[in-house]
């Protein structure tokens, strides 16, 4: 059981989160072996702990801090902070199998951000201004590449914060490719709220000021992954992090922009999106590829992306730049747990107590595949289970497949879910498809070239796999029952939990 001990230091930023992890054996590894951020760092971590759908061989392992980054004596790189559900449980003070409910409760108890008070903000201990003739973003921060085909160095965990004078504030993680000494391109998947803010600014002919915040309390990153309709246009997702910690996130005004930054961040890039300007994502490499994305493939390099003009970089002393290796388990945690919470919250409101657990499976990158545990009480509930799946599609538009299971199935155990699909499902009656609806552009099967019946790229056929036993036949689907025996005296070295 993971929980908060009143004697423990509270988690208020990335460094306190790392100190918490360090007290849990096998969760954090620090190395001073030299590592090149270009390709090598990701190649190392792919084998040590990336997990997820990243190229095999891989495994779930510890988070890693690289203290000796080639060419960057003043910076460190952290990877894999949330690349296991157990580790997220430690960081969010929750049992791993209750993280869905923990996030749902945080949404209900949201606490909005406040202004930082108390002298100099930690994120502004060191200031690099872009108008300094010697400034070069590429020399200040070690932006990694994941593969040799990447369009360029990327910031993979940059939380972009921007505001609209009428609609409010939004925070979202986007892929940011470093293009020159003071420019980056930014990729917006369709429907992102901060992109709507950017478009409104562009239509008005004004620059859109933003901050890119990196190296954060993990509650901020994971809280920012909630999406519409759970968090409607103008909803500030920093409030979810406030709900997780029971206190507000503190913000400070930027040094060179009017926008706010997260005061406790390790790194903040300040700048603005230039109205009307577009650049090719791979203009410096011409690889045709962007970077590995969560579905497990290299995303294609975009020929025309909005451009961020960097005006300053502010950091803590000897900052920790946080990144991830995709498509790994860290993306599953970041995207998947808020996905679960959104679906669980909506289904609890619509049919209280019926869907007891939700898991956004690693195979779908935390977005495409959800397992729903249904507590059937009558024959009528055979239909309610399928209704729950349809509601899940409405709550999270990027969801592609839903598997429905009974309460005796462990939704976090893929073998158990597949067992239910083999013994409690008949393809001709228990597979339901919903054709040609909105999905996600990064799935290469979601395009008319793959399926000519699809109207556009990013549309898909969605599928419900009903692996629940028909209620009137439930007695025939009772699992073999074993005696419940405490195994610990028989295998004390295995560190088993009981019950």
The residues carrying an active-site annotation are 293
Q: At what angle do helices 99-108 and 337-350 cross, to 10 degrees?
A: 70
Determine how β-strand 355-360 pairs with β-strand 369-374: antiparallel
Tokens 């190392």 belong to residue:
44
Rounded alpha-carbon distances, angstroms, from residue 275 to 193, 205, 257, 312:
17, 6, 16, 19
In sequence order, the β-bridge partners of residue 137 are none
296 DSSP assignment: S
H-helix segments, 246-336: 329-331
What would the two tokens of residue 169 be?
Answer: 């504030």
Nearest to 404 by CA among 377, 431, 435, 436: 431
29 three-state secondary structure: strand
473 DSSP assignment: G
Rounded to 5 degrees, φ, ψ at 320 are -105, 110
What counts of helices (H) and strands (E) characterise the chain? 13, 23
Core vs surface per residue 416-451: b (16+ CB within 10 A) or e = ebebbbeebbeeeebeeeeeeebbbbbbbebbeeee
| Spatial contact of 173 and 186, defined as CB atoms under 8 Å apart | no
CA 126 to chain centre: 28
Tokens 């994120």 belong to residue:
123
Q: How far apart are CA 188 and CA 338, in angstroms?
A: 19
CA 405 to chain centre: 25
3-state secondary structure 141-189: CCCCECCCCCCCCEECCCEEEEEECCCEEEEEECEEEEEECCEEEEECC
CA 386 to chain centre: 27
- The torsion region of residue 436 among left (phi > 0), alpha (psi -120 to 50) and beta comes to left
| Spatial contact of 426 and 432, defined as CB atoms under 8 Å apart | no
Determine how β-strand 298-300 pairs with β-strand 260-262: unpaired
Question: For residue 327, is the peptide bond before it cis, meaning its omega torsion is within 30 degrees of 0?
Answer: yes
114 DSSP assignment: E
């Amino acid at each position: 059981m993971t929980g908060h001990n009143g004697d423990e230091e509270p988690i208020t930023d990335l460094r306190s989160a790392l100190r918490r992890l360090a007290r849990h054996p096998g969760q954090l590894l620090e190395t001073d072996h030299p590592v090149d951020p270009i390709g090598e760092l990701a190649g190392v971590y792919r084998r040590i702990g990336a997990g997820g759908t990243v190229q095999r061989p891989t495994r779930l392992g510890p988070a890693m801090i690289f203290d000796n980054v080639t060419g960057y004596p003043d910076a460190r790189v952290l990877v894999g902070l949330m690349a296991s559900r157990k580790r997220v449980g430690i960081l969010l003070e929750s049992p791993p199998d209750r993280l869905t409910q923990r996030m749902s409760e945080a949404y209900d108890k949201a606490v909005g951000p406040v202004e930082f008070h108390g002298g100099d903000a930690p994120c502004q201990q060191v200031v690099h201004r872009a108008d300094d003739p010697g400034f070069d973003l590429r020399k200040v921060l070690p932006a990694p590449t994941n593969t040799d085909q990447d369009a360029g160095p990327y910031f993979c965990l940059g939380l972009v914060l921007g505001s609209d004078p009428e609609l409010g504030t939004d925070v979202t993680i986007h892929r940011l490719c470093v293009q020159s000494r003071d420019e980056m391109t930014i990729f917006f998947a369709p429907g992102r709220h901060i992109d709507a803010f950017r478009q409104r600014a562009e239509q008005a002919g004004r620059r859109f000021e933003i901050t890119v915040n990196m190296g954060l309390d993990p509650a901020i990153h994971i809280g920012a992954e909630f999406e519409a309709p759970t968090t409607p246009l103008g909803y500030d997702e920093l409030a979810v992090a406030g709900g997780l910690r029971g206190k507000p996130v503190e913000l400070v005004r930027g040094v060179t922009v009017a926008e706010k930054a997260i005061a406790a961040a390790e790194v903040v890039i300040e700048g603005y999106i230039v109205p009307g300007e577009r650049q090719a994502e791979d203009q410096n490499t011409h690889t045709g590829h962007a970077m590995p994305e969560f579905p497990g493939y290299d995303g294609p390099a975009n020929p025309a992306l909005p451009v961020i003009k960097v005006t300053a970089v502010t950091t803590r002393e000897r900052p920790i730049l946080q990144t991830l290796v995709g498509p790994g388990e860290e993306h599953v945690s970041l995207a998947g747990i808020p996905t679960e919470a959104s679906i669980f919250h909506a289904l609890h409101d619509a049919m209280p107590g019926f869907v007891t657990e939700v898991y956004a499976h690693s195979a779908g990158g935390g977005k495409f595949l959800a397992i729903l545990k249904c507590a059937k009480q009558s024959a009528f509930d055979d239909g309610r289970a399928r209704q729950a799946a349809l509601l899940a599609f409405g709550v999270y538009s990027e969801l592609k497949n839903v598997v429905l299971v009974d309460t005796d199935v462990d939704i976090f155990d893929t073998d158990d879910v597949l067992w239910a699909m083999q013994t409690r499902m008949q393809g001709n009656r228990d597979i339901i498809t919903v054709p040609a609806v909105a999905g996600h552009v990064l799935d290469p099967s979601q395009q008319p070239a793959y399926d000519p019946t699809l109207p556009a790229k990013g549309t898909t056929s969605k599928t419900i796999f009903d692996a629940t036993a028909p209620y009137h036949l439930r007695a025939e689907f009772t699992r073999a029952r074993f005696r419940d025996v405490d195994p610990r005296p028989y295998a004390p070295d295995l560190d088993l939990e009981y019950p």
